[in-house]
Structure 1
Amino acid sequence: MWGDVTAHDVQETGTDRALPRSFVLTIAAGTVLQALNASTMAVALVDIRQQFHAGAAASWLISGLYLATAIGSPTAGRLADRIGARRVFTTSLVLTVLSSLLAPLAPDLGWLIALRILLGLGTCAAFPAGVAMLRAEADRRGTALPAGALSALAIGGQVMIAFGPVVGGLLVSWQGWQSIFLINVPLGLAVGLAAWRHLPADPPRPPTSTTAVLRGLDLPGAALFTGCIAVLMLFLLSLAEQPRWWLLGPLAVLVAAFTTWELRVPDPFADVRMLARNRPLTGTYLRTALTYVAFYTVFYGYPMWLQNARGLSADQAGLVVLPIALLAMASVAVAGRVIRRRGHRPVLLVGSVALLAGGFGLTFLHSASDLVPLLGVAALLGLPNGFNNIGNQAALYQQADAADAGMASGLYRTSQYVGANIAAAVIELGFAGPAADAGLHRLGTVVAVISAVLLAGALRERLATGRRAGGAFPTQKS
C-alpha cells in the first residue's frame, strides 16, 4: 500500500551505479513513519475510546490522518519541486516529532484528533520528498534510478504495516496508548540526525516569492476537496446515531464548487478534465477506493472486535492480525509474476474472489471461536490485498497517458486514502456501538458485497477485452 512502486518508476540499465546505502536507508527510514502510525492505531483505538468516553467521533483518529495524507502527499510533492526536497523532508520530521510530543498531553479527543492530523501531514510528506531526492541524486550521477532504491521504500512500508499492529499492541499493553505517539520522538530525531549527515543539500534555485509558490499548489482546490471529504465523513458518521440529512446540501454545493474551480485553474489539485476523457482510468480510481474501503474496514475493525468481543489484549490482537500483512507481502510477489505473463485482469479476478471468501469468513466468526479460525480468516483476508494492490497499479499505468503520469499517480494515492476515510465510517455503522459479533458479521457482509462488485467489474472488463481481441483472452499485458 505505502510506497507503491511500478515499472514506470524504475528503468534498469547495465550502467546503473548504486546510490549510497546510507542515503537510501535514511530516506526509507523517514517514509516508513507514515505506515507505522497508520498501523499502530489499529490496536490503540479501543483504549483511546475508553479514556475519552468517545463514540463515533473517535473514528476521526483514523480518517483524520488519511484525509491529511490525501491532501498532503501531492502538495508536499509540489513543494519539494519548488523549494527543495531535503527541506520538505526535514520539515516533515519536525512536524512528526512535534505532534507526537504534544499528543499524549491532549486534554480531550478534539485536540488529539487535531494533533493526529498534524502528524499525518508530517509523515506523508517524507515519501514524495524522498522520491524526489532519489531521482535528483540518480540524475546527478548520470544513471537511471536503480530498482533497489525504490524497493527499499516499498519493502520498508510493507514490513511496517505487517509488524505495526504487533509493535503497537506491545506498546499499548506496556505503557498505554500514549506510547504509540511517543515512539515517533526518538525515531524522528534519529532520522533527522541521519538526514543531516547523509542527505545532500538542496541545489540552488532561482528566488521565488511565497505567493508564487502558494499559487502553484492550488490551495483553494485542496481546501474544497478537504471540505467535500470532511462533510461526507460527518454525514456518514451521523448515520450511526442520528442521521444529519441536511449535510447532503452543503456536500452537493462543495462538490459543485470543487469541480468548477478545478476546471478553471491551469495546474489543478485534481485534473477533472483528465478524469472525464479517460473513463478506464476513472474506473480504476473507483475500484481502488472500493478496495481500500474493504481493506481498512478489516484492518481496523477486526482488531477492535478481537479486543472487545473476543477479549484479547492489544498485543494478542496485534499478533492475530499479523497474517493479514504477511500474506499481503507474499501475494505481491506472486501477483507480479502473473502480471508479467497475463496482465492485470487475472490478478484482479483472483483478488476479488479471495476478498469475497474473506468477507464471508468474517460472518462465521464469533466470540467463542478458537484461535485457528481467527488466524485462518486473517490469512485469507491478507491474500487479496497484494493481488488487488499491484493489479490496480498495473491498470493505472496502462491506462494513464504519458503526459498525465504524474497527476495520475497522485490521484491514485488520493483514491486510496479516500477509501480509508470511508472505511472509518463503515466501521462505526457496522458496529453501531461496542464491537460485538453482530457488528463483525455486518462488516463481513459489507466486505463481501464490495468484493462482489469488484468481481463483477473485473469479469466485465475481461469479457470486453476478450471480445475486442476476437474472442481470445489476452495473455500479455497490453
Structure 2
Amino acid sequence: MTPRRAGIAVAALGVGTLLNPLNSSMIAVALITLRDAFGLDVLTVTWVITAFYLASAAGQPLMGRLGDRFGSRRLFLFGMTVVAVTCVLTPFAPTFWLVCVGRVLLAVGTACAFPGAVALLHPITAQSGLSSPRLLGRLQMANTAGAAVGPVIGGLLVTYLGWQAIFWINVPLAVISFTGVRLFAPVDEARTRQPISKVLVDSDVPGILAFTASLVTLLVFLLGVTDRPRWVLLGLALASAALFAWRELSARTPFIDVRMLVRNRRLLLVYVGFALFNVVYYVVFFGLPQYLEEFGGYRADAVGLLMLPLATLNVLLTPLAARFIERRGIRPAFLLGGAWLVCAALLLTVLSASVMPWAPLVITAMMGVPYCVVSIAMSQALYSSAARESAGVATGIFQTSRYIGAILSTTMLGIAFADGTNPASWLEVTVASTVLAALLLVLVSRWRPSNRTT
C-alpha cells in the first residue's frame, strides 16, 4: 500500500469517526425546536440526547467485538450503511419516540466507526510504513473537529432547514466515508464459514446482555442521581455486573476477557485514566458555558466564541502532539499533558473573581493544550497496550470510558450547581477538577511502555 493510498483510507476513516462526536454535540441546539414540534416538556425532550449516549456507551464494545469476529472493514462499512439509511428515514418520523429510535440506530451505526478505524490502522501502518501516532493523530483531529463544530453546524441547519437537517447532513458524509474505505482500505483477512449456532456460542450473547444491562442501568442511575436517585437501578447495575463477571470468568470464549484485562494493567490504567480525563474535560465543556450564560450574562453565540480557543487549539496542536509522541514516546506526553492539565484546572479559579472576556479566552486556550496532548497520548497508549486480535473490542471499551466520564461530569455539575450557578459553586467545580487532574497525573505517571511500544 502506497502512503498516498493509506492517506486516502485514513481520511475516509476519519470522516466516519467524526460522525459520533458530531451528532452528540449537534443535537444540543435542536432541543427547543424538537420540544415545540412535538409538544414536549423539557425533561422529555432530553431523551433524544440520553438515548444516543446510552446506545453509544453500550454499543462501542459490542461493535468492536463484532469487528474482531467478522472483520473491521466489514464492520465499518456496515456502520456507514446503518447511518445513511437511518438518517434518510428518521426525519419523516411521526412521533418523538420514533426520533429517539432513530437516534439509537444512529448511535449504533456511528459506534462501528472508531473501533473499526483503530483496528484497521494495524494493517494500514504495516503495509504503508507510516507511523501509528501520526495516523492516530488524524483520527483524533476528526473526533475533536466533530465535537467542536457540531453546535455551529447544528445551529445553522436547525435555523434554516429545521431539525430534520441534523439527520440529513449525515447521509453524504456516510456515503463519502463508505466509498473511501470500500475503495482504499485493506481488505479483511479471509475467515472460515461457520454454522450460525457456533457463531452465537462464540459471540457470548449472555455476556453481552449482562454487560449491556449493567452499563445501561448504571448510566441511567447516574443521570438521575441529582434529582431523585433510583437506588433500585444501582442495585440492578451491581447485580448485572456480578453476573457479567461470573459469566466472563466461566465462558469458553468471553465477550470481554476479564482475566486478560486484570493481567494487562497497562490497558486497565488507560481505561480508568481516560474516564477520569473525560470527567475533567466535560466539566469544563458543559459547565463553563452554563456558568458564563447564567452568571456572566453572556448570550449563547458569545459563549460559543469564548469557547472557541479550546476546540481550535485542540485541533491545531494534534499534529504537533503526534510528532512529539513519535519522537519522545507516550509517557513523556502523559507527564507533560497531565502536569499542564493540573495548572490549567487551577486557572479556572480566576473565573470566580472575573468573567470579563479575556478570562475565559485565556483559560479555554490553556485548556486546549492538555486536552489535545493527553487525548492523543491515551489513544496511542490504547493502541500499544491492546492485543491486535482484540483491538476492536478494546477500542470499544475505550470509547465507553469516554461516555462514562461525560455522564459523571454532568452528575458532578448537577450537584455543584444545585443551589445556583455562582462564583461559590464554580469554585467547588474548580477544586474538584484540580483534584481529579492531579489524580490523573499520578495514574499516567505509572504507565510504562511495553517492548513493542514505539
Specify the alignment match of 2:114 in structure 1. 127
| 2-structure distance, mates of 1:398, 1:27 | 20
- Equivalent residue for 2:306? 320
Work out the CA distance in 1 between the residues paired with 2:374 and 2:433. Answer: 13
Match of 1:153 in 2: 139
Superimposed CA distance per residue, residues 127-184 of structure 1 (whole angstroms, 9 cap, x where no aligned partner): 3334555555666xx5545556554433333333333332223333434444322211
- Match of 1:357? 346
Contact 1:348 1:392 survives alignment (8 Å): no
Q: How does 1:239-278 map to 2 (within 5 A)?
A: 239-278=225-264
Write out per-residue CA displacement over residues 450-476 of structure 1, whole angstroms, 9 at most, x where no aligned residue: 4313314635875x89xxxxxxxxxxx
Q: Does the CA contact (< 8 Å) of 2:310 and 2:365 recur in 1? A: yes
Query: Which residues in structure 2 correspond to 1:372-411 (within 5 Å)?
Result: 372-393=358-379, 408-411=394-397
Q: How does 1:30-179 map to 2 (within 5 A)?
A: 30-45=16-31, 48=34, 53-56=40-43, 58-106=45-93, 109-133=96-120, 135-136=122-123, 143-144=128-129, 147=132, 149-179=135-165
Per-residue deviation, 1:99: 2.9
Matched, 1:346 2:335: yes
Shift of 1:443: 6.1
Aligned residue pairs, count: 445
Question: Per the alignment, do residues 204 and 400 of structure 1 end up closer, same or farther by CA in structure 2, a change over 3 Å counting?
Answer: closer
Is 1:232 the counterpart of 2:202? The answer is no
Whether 1:453 aligns to 2:432 is: no
Equivalent residues of 1:362, 1:441 under 8 A apart: no
Q: In 1, Cα distance between the equivalents of 2:269 and 2:201?
A: 30
Give the letter for the 1:353 counterpart.
V
Task: Provide the C-alpha distance between the structure 2 equivalents of 1:120 and 1:278, rounded to a whole number of angstroms.
Answer: 29
Residues 65-84 of structure 1: CA deviation (Å, up to 9, x unaligned): 34333333333333334444
Instruction: Judge conservation of contact 1:237–1:428 (CA < 8 Å) in 2.
Output: no
Q: Displacement, 1:344?
A: 4.6
Amino acid at match of 1:386: C
Q: Distance in 1 between matches of 2:2 and 2:306?
A: 42
Structure number with the bigger relative contact order (C-alpha 8 A, sep ≥ 6) is 2
Q: Which amino acid aligns with 1:97?
A: A
Give the TM-score, by structure 1 length.
0.76
- Residue 437 of structure 1 corresponds to 421
Distance apart, 1:255 and its partner CA = 1.8
Gaps of 5+ in 1: 1-14, 466-476
Matched with 2:282 is 296
Q: What SS is found at the alignment partner of 2:141?
A: helix
Shift of 1:289: 0.8
Q: Which residue of 2 aligns with 1:25?
A: 11
What is the CA–CA distance in structure 1 between the aligned matches of 2:287 and 2:3, rounded to whole Å? 45
TM-score, reference length from structure 2:
0.79
Query: Could you tell me which residue of structure 2 aligns to residue 212 of structure 1?
Result: 198
Distance 1:124 1:387 in 2: 24
Mapped to 1, the partners of 2:390 and 2:182 lie a distance apart of 34
SS at match of 2:112: helix
Cα distance, 1:17 vs. partner?
4.8
With over 3 angstroms needed to count, the CA separation of the structure-2 counterparts of 1:99 and 1:313, relative to structure 1, is: farther
Instruction: State the 1:125 CA deviation.
Output: 0.8
Instruction: Report if the CA contact (8 A) 2:341-2:367 is conserved.
Output: no
Q: Take 2:96 and 2:81, find their aligned partners in 1: how far apart are those partners?
A: 23
Kindly report the root-mean-square deviation, in angstroms, between the aligned alpha carbons of the 2 structures: 4.1
How big is the shift at 1:121? 0.9
Structure 1 residue 220 displacement after superposition: 2.6
Within 1, Cα distance between the matches of 2:17 and 2:391? Answer: 22
The CA deviation at 1:295 is 1.4
Unaligned runs of 5+ in 2: 448-452
**Residue in structure 2 matched with residue 12 of structure 1 by the alignment:** none
Letter in 1 for 2:438: L
Contact preservation (8 Å) 1:427, 1:443: no
Quote how far apart the aligned CAs of 1:49 are. 5.7
Closer/same/farther in 2, CA of residues 131 and 30 from structure 1, 3 Å limit: same
Question: What secondary structure does 1:267 align onto?
Answer: coil
